Structure 1
């Protein structure tokens, strides 16, 4: 058997498949039945039983329901309703700038190259159309490297048009576009918040990073800009996005802190060059369940995150500005 000759349940070619026990299969079937019941009573669970919904989403949405649930919890249908029924098709009729066309073309072949959908011309062309349509829809953003991974993840579970509206919702309503517009204000704000959270929650790592001159711009850029879709297992990417679409960007900080905590020994023993190399491999060897358990073990309030964001906007602390801040 040659390398990457087996197709996993998400559509990625890999070397081998995990062997599930009868107990694990039984548990998975039980989860699917619980979710089927919940979806039949969606109005109730999304309002009066929201706590139960949140708990189940944090444990992971069954893949057979994932696309449907993502579309539901994101409010994409409501966002779509603000535009004419044929708006996506009309966007496809518009010409993109040559710069955007070329930038998208460069990323098509390197976005999930081991996924069956994007190995084929049809899948890559679907991703191409979606990204071009968004560049017309939001011309201030256009296209920036990193966006293709988010759009491609949605295309694995949803139709092209539904993926577009989910992508547009995430960019606009979840404010991810601030990671991609000129000067990337959202990503720099996230670096500041991450520094504050690392200092509060992982002081030994904060001290070590200070000693070896490592800032979030060096280890967390691809975490935030791709939503943990690069250098991470697909299980981690999906679990992060399950939570992101219900709870927002706080999960990015939780997952980032969890990554640092799980690998704290290796990190604190590393020098600058070793840390840069490790950052490309740690995510793929991290267990998704362990990451999520660790992520939610932190006492992380929205109040603290909002305070750090306010500090960054009005009176940033120099110790958290350990990268070159770009202002408009």
Structure 2
């Protein structure tokens, strides 16, 4: 077993804050500072709207299989609106199938958590614990409840998939533990690695490189000026999207945005990562920013410091919805174009 180290690959984003940014009062998500700290002045969803959404989700849970088979679009639309905080743990487990895996494997997690493990594996995991959201109240204390649950989840996951243990598993597990107990968190983590992003954490990171190439091609259609700039300066996708995709943006976005992105990710899969990445590239490197980026170094610095407004929940999610529409239009145009080429009807060129 060898831990995959992507921390020096030039990826962008960080969850670590300077001491001056630390608050004595946690925000509503439990953060005391850092990139994920949420300003309480942000617009809140009215209580009656939240209660209405909770009722709809509880009704879906009561007939989950039927909804997923016959009314998936309804589930998808509700995930895009945001899962109610009180039901997020249950929703994520249902969306990825972790609840069924937990039912089918009673006691497996605790058995593996208590069993002896390779000392090298234990050392690798212990080294990663203090790095995960150090400004969140759950992970502040060394040897505390949060860090020990994180250790158990990572230990079990590494035992189940010994060839793919990676530092990027730690922030994923930490996000899950902020929402649910250790056992369901493990099954959600396993679903992410096995079903949603298979191959992402294998030696060589080949799947990440493939998806980087796809992101590059999509950028050419949706953000041509950014595409030309990155191509001109030979900035490969692996230099800026590795941490984004491997950590599912958990170390990059404000926390309210992270949760909304994960709501959609658990429902729609990795395509959500592409949409978010394209929005960050398009607006994080808009023309005013590119004018200040004469080379690779300046460009990567700008990507490490995307302005908060671009990543804020309201703007980011709105632009993701707009991007979906744009991509649909592009697909329709391509279909019409090929239909015209293969049909006997004259093509009207405007």
Give the TM interval when normalised to the shorter protein.
0.7 to 0.9
Aligned to 2:177, which of 132, 139, 155?
A: 155
Matching residue of 2:80? 58
Q: Which runs of 5+ in 2 are unaligned?
A: 1-20, 332-350
CA distance in 1, matches of 2:228, 2:23: 41
1:112·1:149 contact (CA, 8 Å) conserved in 2? yes
Bigger drift between 53-62 and 15-24 goes to 15-24
Judge conservation of contact 2:168–2:246 (CA < 8 Å) in 1. yes
- Matched residue count: 300
Aligned match of 1:290 = 315
RMSD: 2.6
Work out which of the residue numbers 31, 54, 75 in structure 2 matches 1:12.
Answer: 31
1:73-222 alignment, distance < 5 Å:
73-81=95-103, 83=105, 85-120=106-141, 121-141=144-164, 143-176=165-198, 178-222=199-243
**1:154-211 Cα shifts (integer Å, max 9, x gaps):** 00111100101111111112234x1111111211111111111111221111101112
Distance apart, 1:36 and its partner CA: 4.0
2:343 corresponding residue in structure 1: none
Q: Quick one: distance in 1 between partners of 2:266 and 2:43?
A: 31
Give the TM-score, by structure 1 length: 0.83
Change (3 A) 1:23 1:292: closer
What is the CA deviation profile of residues 275-307 of structure 1, one whole-angstrom value per residue up to 9, with x for unaligned ones? 222222217552122112212322447xx8xxx
Task: State whether residues 259 and 283 of structure 1, in contact with CA within 8 Å, keep that contact through their aligned partners in structure 2.
Answer: no
Larger mean CA deviation between 130-139 and 37-46 belongs to 37-46
Separation in 1 of the partners of 2:183 and 2:307?
31
Q: 1:82 to 1:210 in 2, by over 3 A?
A: same
Report the Cα offset of residue 247 of structure 1.
0.7
Tell me the distance in 2 between the aligned counterparts of 1:80 and 1:277. 43
Contact 2:38/2:256 (8 A) holds in 1 = no
Q: Could you tell me how far apart the structure 1 residues matched to 2:177 and 2:45 are?
A: 31
Relative to the length of structure 2, the TM-score reads: 0.78
How far apart, in 2, do the equivalents of 1:128 and 1:210 lie? 41
Are 1:230 and 2:251 matched, yes or no? yes
Going from structure 1 to structure 2, the CA distance change for 1:194 and 1:16 (only over 3 Å counts) comes to closer
Q: What's the CA shift string for 1:55-97, capped at 9, x where partnerless? A: 11012111111010000111113334554x2211221233333
**Residues 198 and 206 of structure 1 are in contact (CA less than 8 Å); yes or no, is this contact kept in structure 2?**
yes
Q: Contact 1:198 / 1:205 at 8 angstroms: preserved in 2?
A: yes
Identify which of 213, 237, 248 aligns with 2:269.
248
Q: 1:199 to 1:17 in 2, by over 3 A?
A: closer
Alignment CA distance shift 1:196-1:21 (3 Å)? closer
Q: Which structure would you say has the larger RCO, counting Cα contacts within 8 Å and 6 or more residues apart?
A: 2
Say if 1:206 and 1:68 are closer, same or farther in 2 by CA, change over 3 A: same
Alignment partner of 1:273 is 2:297: yes
Tell me the secondary structure at the aligned position of residue 129 of structure 1. Answer: helix
Flag structure 1 segments of 5+ consecutive residues without an equivalent.
Answer: 305-328
